[in-house]
Structure 1
């Protein structure tokens, strides 16, 4: 039997997410935006629930395309609030739309979300010292908040870094840990 992170054994959906996605390094701007958005939706909820809503969230939020989300009209936003197939927390939806607008504006200035997220990532993946990772996480939260991103806290940002493979937090006995070094 293959050793995995303990949380992955709770359901088939979590197992597939763990084995195929979680912690896989990505530099793709849209994927990073999706990962960040899903962590915003996850706050106060369990990850299994967020994964069950993910297909509907992808459909309703234009596959987390920041360019399209930044152009949402008030009517489209109201429709999202009433969409029973997604997580309908108004503050979380508003934050994701705001974050899309900020990201699009930053792209217009040649700023890269990927570059900001992956700055010093090699160091993080090699050193893996708690204080170094915590400092990087806090700096990223500060930077993103200063730029105008909403609902970015230390916990959600750290979970985003884990999901995006910036930090490899697979358990030491997990087969994915060595694969993703």
Structure 2
């Protein structure tokens, strides 16, 4: 990438992060381009879709979340490892208003298949953590990784517009966790 293209890319990411914080992931792409001092065509050359831009803005966070999941795969308490990662995934989904809905919508558009590389990596590590917890007997055998991750996204979606979104997300998350626990 040429130096000017790298600068434009960096400015677009910076301005998208600011706009997503202010307006959520549905922020105007043309406004992001304007704030970055580039034409809309430049934005679309770098990011053909809104999801491409969202992914670029969240790349570092997603990498950290996937790395956390991989580290948790070595933790002895499988149930605690799963719950720690699911809570981190929920906090990630709450990063920007509309993020959970955008990811869920893109998954629906692709027939439930991961919509992106980072989505696939998150699904893979989440599925591995859930499988370990199921094998240890702490999670109901019916728990399906796709369903559990959709529920985490749904919790973020439901809580995002609540006046106390953090408390709402905690209440809903605890309901999910209680539903996953295997009754002895």
Same fold (TM over 0.5): no
Per the normalisation by structure 2, the TM-score is: 0.27
User: Could you tell me the TM-score, scaled by structure 1's length?
Assistant: 0.27
More helix by share: 2
Q: Which structure ranks higher in relative contact order (CA pairs < 8 Å, sequence separation ≥ 6)?
A: 1
